[in-house]
Amino acid sequence: MTDSFADHFHATPDGPRLHYRDYPAVGDSTGAPVVCLHGLTRNVKDFEDLAPMIAALGRRVIVVSMRGRGRSDYDPQPERYQPLTYAIDLTGMLDALALEKVVFIGTSMGGLITMILASTMPERFAGAVINDIGPEISQAGLDRIMSNVSSRDPAAGWDEAAQRTKDANLATFPTRTDDAYWDNFARKTWIEMDDGRLRLDYDGAIIDQMGGNEPLPDLWPFFNALKDIPTLIIRGGITDLLTTETVAKMRAAKPDLLTVNVPDVGHAPFLTEPEAWAEIEALLKRVD
C-alpha cells in the first residue's frame, strides 16, 4: 500500500479554487475511480488513511476539500456555503477530469452532496457510500454539532489542540484514550499560523450560515435518487445524527440497501474501522 498522491486545484466558475488530492490506483485498475467527500468543517485530511487503502485495491481516488476548507479558497460570498453549491462545484470538477463514472464516498455533509448529485446525474454513479447521514436528520445531532464547532479560538500549540479535539470528540470515540490518536485527529482539523499558534482549518463563516430555525428541506427525493445505484449506508453505533428508525425507513424505500453499524463510534466513523472497511471493500469488489 502507498500513500502517494498529487496535489491539484480546480477553479470553479464563480472563482474559488478547490484543492484536491489525486491518489493513483496501485497496480491494474479494478474499476471506476472513487471520489471522497468530507463533512461540514473537515477537509482532505479526513481521508488520508482511507484513500491509500482504496488505491491499494486498484482504484484511483480523488479527495476534495470543499470551498472554505483546508487549502481550498474561502468564498468571499459566504451565503454560497451550501450543499447545492458544492454539488455544482463537483460536477464541474468531474467534467474537467473527464470522469464519466465514479463511486462516491460521502461523510455527513458529503453524504448529502452525494445524494444531491445522484438526483442530477445518476448515470455517473457506479456506487455510493453514505457515512452517518440520511434523509431525516436528528435535531439533537445538529445541536451537538453546533455546540462542538462554536469555539474557534486559536490554540497555543499541538498539545492544546489535541486536548481540545479530545474534549470535543471523546463522546463520539469513547474508547479512544491514547494520546497519539487525538494528536493525529488534531492534525487533520487544525493548521499552524505564521505566529506559531493553531486555528481550525475552515472558514468560520461556514458555521454562521447554519443559524436560524428554518426547518430542513425534504431530503427524501434526494435519497430516492439512489434507487438504482448500489449503495452502502454506514452508521456509527452510538451516533446522534442518524437514527435506527431512519435507517429502517431507508431500507424500506430501497430494499437492496446495504447497511452496517460501527460499534462504539458516534458521528461520524472515519471509515477505516474494521466493520466499515470490510463493507466498503466488498462494495468496491462488486461494482465496476
What would the grid cell of residue 227 be? 434507487
- Within-domain flag for 243: yes
- How long a stretch of residues is the chain? 288
Look-up of cell digits 462504539: 264
- Within-domain flag for 203: no
Maximum distance among all alpha carbons in the chain? 54
The domain that holds 13 is classified in CATH as: 3.40.50.1820
Q: How many domains does the chain have?
A: 1
- Within-domain flag for 76: yes
Q: Give the separation between CA 199 and CA 165, rounded to whole angstroms.
A: 12
Q: Give the separation between CA 203 and CA 188, rounded to whole angstroms.
A: 15
The number of helices, as runs of H, and strands, as runs of E, in the chain is 10, 10
**Which domain does 34 fall in, by range?**
6-142+218-286
Reported as a single tens digit per residue, the pLDDT across 249-281 is 999 999 999 999 999 999 999 999 999 999 999
- Within-domain flag for 164: no
Of the ranges 71-85, 95-109, 114-128, 147-161, which one carries the lowest mean pLDDT score?
147-161
The residues, ordered by sequence, that sit 6+ positions from 124 with a Cβ below 8 Å of its Cβ are: 94, 99, 100, 101, 102, 117
DSSP letter at 73 equals P
3-state secondary structure of 102: strand
Reported as a single tens digit per residue, the pLDDT across 13-54 is 999 999 999 999 999 999 999 999 999 999 999 999 999 999
Q: Give the separation between CA 214 and CA 84, rounded to whole angstroms.
A: 17
Reported as a single tens digit per residue, the pLDDT across 72-95 is 999 999 999 999 999 999 999 999
- Within-domain flag for 85: yes
- Within-domain flag for 151: no
- Within-domain flag for 44: yes
The pLDDT of residue 216 is above 90: no
- Within-domain flag for 154: no
pTM passes above 0.95 = yes
